[in-house]
Structure 1
Amino acid sequence: MLYFSDQELDAFLLEDAYRGDLTTHALGIEKHMGKMVFKRKQAGRVAGVEVARALLVKLGLEPVVHVEDGADVEAQTVLIEAEGKAEQLHTGWKAVQLVLEWSCGVAQYTAEMTAQVQAENPNAIVACTRKSIPGTRKLATAAVLAGGGHIHRAGLSETILVFTNHRRLYEEPDNFAAQTSRLRQQAPENKITVEADSLDQIEEILKGEPDIIQLDKFSTEEVSEALALVTNSGQSTILSVAGGINRNNAAEYAKTGVNLFITSAPYYAAPEDIKVIITPL
């Protein structure tokens, strides 16, 4: 479970209802009692329920949760429901619906991609990058985890990943061994990942013995060649593949024997349809 602060929850609600629901007020139904039900229209993976529950609680409601995040459900399954005044229900309606729809979409994509790579390689892991839609990273993290994925790196402060843009500013841009040595001295508790832009760089990067070499935009043939180079080196360095990895091609990359797939594709998945029904009590 990821903790969402009051400030974060308030931001979700205030984005839609910063001055209340004008329609509900104009109709004079604010105090009318009702019941609101959220259903997942299609079968699939569920995510966003815990945030949805917290949003409804913020509005003074007492929601009933029927399905936990990470579950797979049948079509038309009720995820969560709440009873209360119309002003409470309508204030939360769209904010909660959007959280559920977008989160379920991300989780569904992640679950499908994970199933595809693990069908080829049971040890395969799908890990999502920090290239999420601005303002959604924490919500995306929760959805990826619900989808059975992992987080590659949630931010700059978490892990060490050397890109070419780092190396260009280093005093010896092509001295991978010196760079890795410095990183091990400066950050002894962290694993070191170095990104390779081409197959030609692999042997030079291996001289520094990094923990991981991230292959950026490599073809499956190039990935297989890189694996052979690592195997022949006798080192424990592992490979990850990144850059354009998605639900359409991940299985082909999994056939190479690589275990770690880095992607941002789930963040841009189509939202799942969540049906909201409000009825009088």
Structure 2
Amino acid sequence: MIYFSEQELDNFLLEDIYRGDLTTHCLDIGKKSARMSFTRKKAGVVAGINVALRLLTKLHIQANAFVQDGDEVTAGTLLIQAEAQADQLHQAWKVVQLVLEWSCGVAQYTAEMVQNAKAINPNAVVACTRKSIPNTRKLATAAVLAGGGHIHRQGLSETLLVFTNHRNLLDEPENYIDIVATLRQQAPENKITLEADNLAQCQAMLLANPDIIQLDKFSSDDVKAALELKQQLKSNVMLSVAGGVNKNNVADFAKLGIDLFITSAPYYAMPEDIKVMIEKR
């Protein structure tokens, strides 16, 4: 479970309900006892349940969840039911709905991408980057995990990944052997990834023996050629693909023999439709 602080949850709520629901107040229905239900309209993977429950609890709403993050449900499945006064429910309604819709969308896309890759290569790993929509990274992380994906890196401090923009500042930007040796000495507990922009770079990087070479925006033909170079050199370096990898083309790369797929596509998936019903209790 990904932990969300009280401040983070407050920020979700205060963006929408900073002065309450004016409509509920003007209709004088705020004190009516009511029940609110959240259902997933289409079949698929569920995400955002844990955060939704904590948001409801913060508004002193009694809520019960009937599914867990990562569950695969049928169309029309009841996800959460909550009971409280109408003013409390109306304040929670849209915030919770949006968390569920966006989280389920990310999880669903991730699950479909994982399925497409594993149908070809059972060892395939779909890992999402740090290129998430600003201020959504924690929600995105929870949703990706619920969908069966992995996290490539959450931030700059976690992993060693050498981009061209790093190398451009070095005295010898193409001395990959020295780059790898320096990183192994400076951070012996971390794996080393070098990103290759083209096939010639990949070939030179293979000789430096990093742990992973990330092939950025490589065509299928270039990925195939890179795998052939690796085989010729009898290298143990893992090759991953990144840049433009999505659920529609991941199988094409999997057929070539790639195991690791780096993507940000799930973050921009269409939200799933969550139906919300508030009724008298």
TM-score by length of 2: 0.99
Counterpart residue number, 1:13? 13
| 1:234 Cα deviation after fit | 2.0
Q: Does 1:173 align with 2:173?
A: yes
Query: In the TM superposition, what whole-angstrom CA distance separates every residue of 1:82-135 from its partner, at most 9, and x where no partner exists?
Result: 000111100100000000000000000000000000000000011000000011
The letter for the 2-side match of 1:3 is Y
Residue 230 of structure 1, CA deviation: 1.3
Secondary structure of 2:47's aligned partner: coil
Distance 2:187 2:20 in 1: 50
SS in 2 for 1:255: helix
1:272 maps to 2:272: yes
* 1:72 counterpart letter in structure 2: E
Name segments (4+ residues, structure 1) moved above 2 Å: none
Q: 1:1-281 counterparts in 2 under 5 A?
A: 1-281=1-281
Tell me which amino acid in the other structure corresponds to 2:59.
Answer: L
Instruction: Give the Cα–Cα distance (whole angstroms) in 1 for the partners of residues 19 and 185 of structure 2.
Output: 54
Stretches of structure 1 that go unaligned for 5 or more consecutive residues are none
Q: Percent identity over the alignment?
A: 65
- SS of 1:38's equivalent in the other structure is strand
For residue 27 of structure 1, report the CA deviation from its aligned partner: 1.1
Indicate the SS of the match to 2:256: coil
RMSD: 0.7
Gaps of 5+ in 2: none
Distance of 1:214 and 1:167 partners within structure 2 = 15
Deviation at 1:220, TM superposition (A): 1.1
AA partner of residue 6 (structure 1): E
Structure 1 SS opposite 2:126: strand
After TM superposition, give the deviation of residue 167 of structure 1 in Å: 0.2
Amino acid at match of 1:26: C
Structure 2 Cα separation of the partners of residues 203 and 116 of structure 1: 29
Which residue identity is paired with 1:154?
Answer: Q
Deviation of the 1:207 alpha carbon: 2.1
CA distance in 2: counterparts of 1:15 and 1:118, whole angstroms:
39
